[in-house]
Amino acid sequence: MGILESIREPRDLRRLGSAELERLSTEIREFLIRNVSATGGHLGPNLGVVELTLSIHRVFDSPRDSIVFDTGHQSYVHKLVTGRQDFSTLRQKGGLSGYPERAESVHDIVQSSHASSSLSWLDGISRARRLTGEDDRYAVAVVGDGALTGGMTWEAVNNIAADKDRRAIIVVNDNGRSYAPTVGGFANHLADIQQGFQQSMDKVRTDRRYDRTLDLMRRGLHRAGAPGEMVYRALHGMKAGLKDVMVPHGIFEDVGMKYLGPIDGHDIEALESALTSAKNYGGPVIVHAITEKGHGYAPARADDADQFHAVGKIDPLTGEAAPKGPGRSWTSVFGEEIARIAGERDDVVGITGAMTIPVGLQQMALEHPDRVIDVGIAEQHAVAMSAGLAFGGMHPVIALYATFLNRGFDQLLMDVALHRAGVTIVLDRAGVTGPDGPSHHGQWDLALLQIVPHLHLAAPRDAARLREELREAVAIDDAPTVVRYPKGNVGEEIEAIERLRDGAEVLLRTGEAEREKDVLIISVGAMAELSLEIAGRLRDEGVNVTVLDPRWVIPVPASVLEQAAEHRIVVVIEDGVRAGGIGSRIRQEMRAAGVDTALNEVGLPAEFLPHASRQEVFDDAGLTAERITRSTLEQLAGHQVPYARAARPREI
């Protein structure tokens, strides 16, 4: 039995000595490599926080002391030492979440996996402890240097630093990276601190006075009968003291907070010494730990792109990815086309929030490095800045995960749309993302974007339409445009049988006479394949069906209303929430035009959907061909209004 198997709760860590902690760190890394390589997940970040997590749990008393992990993808070690060691179904339906999850453990607090919010939680928790008279309870936030590029963290620091009586501790996990190397002025400042740290420690190590001082301290402690553990801790304290004198701390202390560091984030003794000092200080403290993403695993350390930030199934020995199925990803299609457009137009600028590779801007960055801007984890700034770029004569293309558009919504509304700025936003991972769970599902964008004046929204059904609609989007220079597509591989191309005058396309039509037009299926984006399957099932039941792809779903094309007026029932199928979604918008437009055809909105519930595969989430939400076909047949059977009552649109 290894040491890890004996750890059931954090307090079990406190009985371990230095050698046992070192062994435990090795066991945890072996466990993570073995298990995450079989399921996929965030491997590199967790390999980098092993010693840091152990030290935090040895110094603080979770759950009495609250430990918050920013973003949460670096919480696997935390899960292991809080009694969750079955990783066999990590990120799978019914298995462990890849992020903190309150339903799993009382040790988990913040479930959201959006970056840069942890310090605001820290501010709130520590204020609550003081207001309720629980001043002996600590609040700790573990925040990466990448998350510190988000402005929300500095809003929180501004408030935390103003109150000197709270037990709030910020642990900066500084590995110089988010997905890729962290960028910006603050990242440069951290790099300067790291360089100063290394230079000063090199100087200290070569200074004979330092050696004599340590030797005298060691002899004195031994003569006094101090245990070996105490001697070791004292020497670490001496090193830290000398280093603190020699390393410039800059912005950390400038904001008015006690700063400890930088600390070697893989040295448990040094970490515990710093964390204990922070605990005893009695006020807000920043502990700056320097770690290495992918520490202890050569394939991750050798990966310059993202150091195995998030992996699929891999060979645990080599780190090589398991063979993927055939097909291209939506992201790669976008990446190829935007690079081609940038080659044709000098005014096109790509913008990313610390995700150049994940959102597909890498090729454009290689070919046009001066026209791809990484703003860090700062979506609000990205969107507001894009309005300025548009004013200056450029056409910005902001590539984001759909879930992160939530962060920049106010700026989209008030900086971009209000000023009729020609800005294109490309939303990757729209709809259901799968194993990353509720914080990453991109199910909100279709509803959120309904209320933005002048906005145009395209939902391509395949690769050809993505290329085509992206080009149409960047051609609009007097309003915001959005192009959205899901995670994963794009399917086979689906050719239309007819393009209507406003660009909407008919994918399938059965029955030509007006009396035979039963069901109009309006397919939103990547739901085309499902829509066609449903149409086939309905046709087999003797129902005549038209499948229509609007291509641009906002504003609603006039032909959608015309087609709706000619059918008995309209079914709108989308992968966003039904509440306020495209179906709801079409219903409103139909009512305004005097079209009284019955309409069925098919989409996702307005709920936080748990992690599972994309298809499993669809199954649970009722987005299956069988269920939609059955409900449509039932609606047809109960729909007694004769076709002749369906009015033509009043004005289209």
pLDDT of 645 above 80: no
Please name the residue that has the structure tokens 């002749």: 644
Q: Which residues contact 549 (CB under 8 A, 6 or more apart)?
A: 461, 465, 496, 504, 505, 506, 507, 522, 523, 528
Name the more confident of 468 and 219: 468
| Angle between the N-to-C axes of helices 268-281 and 18-39, in degrees from 0 to 180, rounded to the nearest 10 | 100
What is the distance between the alpha carbons of residues 97 and 77, in angstroms, rounded to a whole number? 13
* pLDDT reading at 94 higher than 80: yes
Q: How many CB atoms lie within 10 A of CB 198?
A: 13
Angle subtended at Cα 281 by Cα 275 and Cα 284, rounded to the nearest 5 degrees:
85
pLDDT of residue 221: 56
Q: Is the pLDDT of residue 649 over 60?
A: no
SS3 category, 625: helix
* Single pTM value for the model: 0.86
Is the model's pLDDT at 516 over the cut of 90?
Answer: no
Name the one residue in this structure whose structure tokens are 């009552």: 645
Using DSSP's 3-state secondary structure scheme, residue 351 falls into strand
Enter the tokens of residue 354.
């610390």
pLDDT level of residue 322 (50, 70, 90 thresholds)? confident
Q: Would you please indicate which residues are annotated as catalytic (active-site) residues?
A: 293, 379, 407
Q: Are 457 and 412 in contact (CB under 8 A)?
A: no
Write down the domain spans for the chain.
4-301, 330-484, 498-645
12: CB partners within 8 A, 6+ apart: 6, 81
- Asked whether residue 165 is marked as a ligand-binding residue, the answer is no
| CATH number for region 498-645 | 3.40.50.920
Q: What pLDDT does residue 427 have?
A: 98
609 sits in the region (left: phi over 0; alpha: psi -120 to 50; else beta) called beta
**Angle made by CA atoms 127, 132, 136, in degrees to the nearest 5:** 80
Q: How confident is the model at residue 299 (pLDDT cuts 50, 70, 90)?
A: confident
Helix (H) or strand (E) holding 352: strand 348-352
Q: What is the pLDDT of residue 641?
A: 39
Q: Do domains 4-301 and 498-645 have the same CATH topology?
A: yes
Q: What percent of the chain has pLDDT over 70?
A: 85
DSSP string, 514-558: GGG--EEEEE-GGGHHHHHHHHHHHHHTT--EEEEE-SEEESPPH
Q: Per-residue pLDDT for 229 more than 70?
A: no
What pLDDT sits at residue 233?
A: 53
Predicted pLDDT at 194: 58
pLDDT band at 380; cut points 50, 70, 90:
very high
Rg (Cα) of the chain, in Å, rounded? 28
CA–CA separation, 406 vs 548, rounded Å? Answer: 29
The answer on whether 485 is annotated among ligand-binding residues is: no
Q: Which CATH superfamily is domain 330-484 in?
A: Thiamin diphosphate (ThDP)-binding fold, Pyr/PP domains (3.40.50.970)
Q: Which CATH code is given to the segment(s) 4-301? A: 3.40.50.970
pLDDT at residue 330 greater than cutoff 90: yes
Enter the DSSP assignment of 258: E
**In this predicted structure, what is the pLDDT of residue 242?**
43
113 marked as part of a ligand binding site? yes
**Helices and strands: H and E segment counts in the chain:** 23, 18
Measured distance CA(54)–CA(72) in Å, rounded: 16
Measured distance CA(610)–CA(47) in Å, rounded: 25
| Secondary structure (3-state) at 289 | strand
Place of tokens 């462990």: 96
The Cα–Cα gap between 557 and 378 comes to 34
CB 462 within 8 A of CB 493: yes
Q: What is the pLDDT of residue 46?
A: 93
Q: Which two tokens stand for residue 168?
A: 């709030």
For residue range 181-195, what is the model confidence (pLDDT) as tens digits?
Answer: 555 565 565 666 656
Residue 379 counted as an annotated binding residue? yes
Q: How confident is the model at residue 369 (pLDDT cuts 50, 70, 90)?
A: very high
pLDDT-above-90 percentage for the chain: 72
- Rounded Cα gap, residues 251 and 625, in angstroms: 57
Give the pLDDT score at 644: 31
Place of tokens 């963290």: 153
* CA-wise closest residue to 415 among 395, 438, 385, 393: 385
pLDDT at 71: 87
| Higher pLDDT, residue 377 or 458 | 458
- Is 146 annotated in a binding site? The answer is yes
Q: What is the pLDDT of residue 652?
A: 37
The answer on whether 339 is annotated among ligand-binding residues is no
Give the model's confidence band at 315: pLDDT under 50 very low, under 70 low, under 90 confident, else very high: confident
C-alpha dist (Å) from residue 219 to 211, 215, 216, 502: 12, 6, 5, 87
Q: Is 73 a known ligand-binding residue?
A: yes
Q: Which amino acid is at 433?
A: T
Query: Tens digits of per-residue pLDDT, 419-431?
Result: 999 999 999 999 9
- State the DSSP string of 157-191: HHHHTT-TTS-EEEEEEE-SBSSSB--SHHHHHHH
Tell me what pLDDT residue 304 has. 72
The 10s digit of each residue's pLDDT in 11-32 is 999 999 999 999 999 999 999 9
Average pLDDT over residues 319-336: 88
CA dihedral 59, 64, 68, 69 (to 10 degrees): 60
Q: How far is CA 70 from the centre of its chain?
A: 11
Q: pLDDT value at position 114?
A: 87
- Cα(252)–Cα(167) distance, rounded to whole angstroms? 17
Residue 237 predicted with pLDDT over 60: no
**HSE-up of residue 338 (Cα within 13 Å, Cβ side):** 34
For 122-135, how does the pLDDT look when each residue is reduced to its tens digit (9 = 90+)?
999 999 999 999 98
145 annotated to a ligand binding site: yes
How far is 17 from 606, CA to CA, in rounded Å? 50
Please name the residues in contact with 195: beta carbons below 8 A apart, sequence gap of 6 or more. none
286 vs 45: CA distance, rounded Å:
20
220 contacts: CB under 8 Å, gap ≥ 6: none
Angle at 525 between CA 520 and CA 526, to 5 degrees: 105
Phi (first) and psi of residue 183, to 5 degrees: -120, 165
Using the predicted structure, report yes or no on whether residue 143 has a pLDDT greater than 80: yes
Q: Quick one: pLDDT at residue 226?
A: 58
**Average pLDDT over all residues of the chain:** 88
- DSSP codes of every residue in 566-614: TSSEEEEEEEEESTTSHHHHHHHHHHHHT---EEEEEEE-SS-PPS--H
Compute CA distances 279 → 46, 125, 136, 166, 235, whole Å. 24, 16, 10, 11, 19
